[in-house]
Amino acid sequence: MKKLAKFFLAITMVITQLGWLMACGGGKEADSKVLYEKYADYFKIGFAINYELLDLPEYQEIYKHFNSMTAENEMKWAYIRPNAYQTSYQKADAFVAKAKELNIGMRGHALVWHHTSAVPNYINSSTPKDSLLTHIENHVDATIKHFGDDVIYAWDVVNEAITDNDNSSSIYRSSKDGSGGASFFYDIAGEDFVLTAFRQAQKTVEENNLNIKLFYNDYNMNNQAKRNRAIKMIRNIRAQGIRVDGIGMQGHYNIHTYKESEFKKAIQDFIAEGLEVHITELDISIHKDDNSRLAALTPELEEAQARVYKSIYKVCREFSKHVTSVTTWGVADDHTWLDNFPVKNRKNWPLLFNETYQPKKGFEAIMDFSS
């Protein structure tokens, strides 16, 4: 009798467990409290960080939520090749070691960017065109080879080449386009600087059999006019028989201006071009304009921000056949570049974890797929 009761109890327990497993989608992912596991069927979940913060004790627990990492600065040209004959890989290599320790992938960011913070001082506005293009080839080739594809699964080959000026006759930023933030790469070499970078990246990746996707990365991609210019550039590159695998939509958004319809349209337009999509630098500012100042993040603003986060991850899930990676530009609100941009020394709270390293409403919102 006792044996029979035990047998029925065991059967009941198995049935209950099976029912529970089926109810939550049959997998550990669906029920997980870990962000990247929750998104295992959708896309990679990334964070960006700088070298000084990499080993911050408070961050180590947060890293469990991510399966992709980006070096905020340390893989840029000026950082790893300060002059033509000297490399400085030590900090960048520390990221690769950390990625291996965490068993996660990395986005390589970024091979060619005109910004003064990223350009080594052996290149300047009087560098001749031939010489600039040779430097680009050497840098792209050596950098891709150095890091290989142990952890790197994508490289931003060119960053921010497109003008913000809707009235410019050229799609590219240059000292003549009138939008500020000129690219002296374009001034010197025209479109050839972009073509050379992508041509070399493809050659290096293919000759060395590397499993790495090649991306163009830029901001304001929700803006139709700027997006059209980026698409035109990508078509020009491809028309030369050169590979561009994906678009990096930076995703520096704002709770006051973000529109789901625009974000969705941007993704759809890029998919229509046959591009893979990564959201590469996601953060959501809560400030309305440059005059806005706040002593603390209010619950209302945090909720408004959570709605934007929810919308972004929901749209990305909808297109997850093509959206393969979503990276937040930072880990927690204690450190964000938005504390100094566009206004110096103004606190902002743009990320998924707060200043005391706890998940914010935005985190809860993207963990909830029910609405």
What one-character DSSP code corresponds to residue 181? S
Kindly state whether residue 337 participates in binding ligand GLA, applying the rule CB under 6 A: yes
Q: How far is the CB of 100 from ligand GLA (least distance, A)?
A: 23
Residues 6+ apart with CB under 8 A from 126: none
140 or 365, CB closer to ligand GLA?
140
Residues 6+ apart with CB under 8 A from 134: none
Contact 327, 47 (CB under 8 A): yes
Task: Reply yes or no: is the peptide bond before residue 342 cis, omega within 30 of 0.
Answer: yes
- The single residue of 37, 72, 160, 276 carrying the catalytic annotation is 160
Contact 106, 94 (CB under 8 A): no
User: Of 67, 204, 250, 354, which lies in the binding site for ligand GLA, with binding defined by CB under 6 A?
Assistant: 250
Mark whether 302 is an active-site residue.
no
159 or 348, CB closer to ligand GLA?
159
Q: How far is the CB of 248 from ligand GLA (least distance, A)?
A: 9
Exposure string of 207-220, with b = 16+ CB inside 10 Å and e = fewer, is eeebebbbbbbbbb
Binding-site string for ligand GLA from residue 98 to residue 137, where x marks contact by CB under 6 A and - marks none: -----------x----------------------------
Q: Which tokens sit at 339?
A: 């504390």
User: Of 37, 281, 283, 333, which lies in the binding site for ligand GLA, with binding defined by CB under 6 A?
Assistant: 281
Q: How far apart are the first and last CA of the chain?
A: 49
Mark whether 137 is an active-site residue.
no
User: Of 67, 68, 143, 159, which lies in the binding site for ligand GLA, with binding defined by CB under 6 A?
Assistant: 159
157 or 367, CB closer to ligand GLA?
157
Can you give the binding site for ligand GLA, defined by CB under 6 A? 109, 159, 219, 250, 281, 337
Return the active site residues: 160, 281
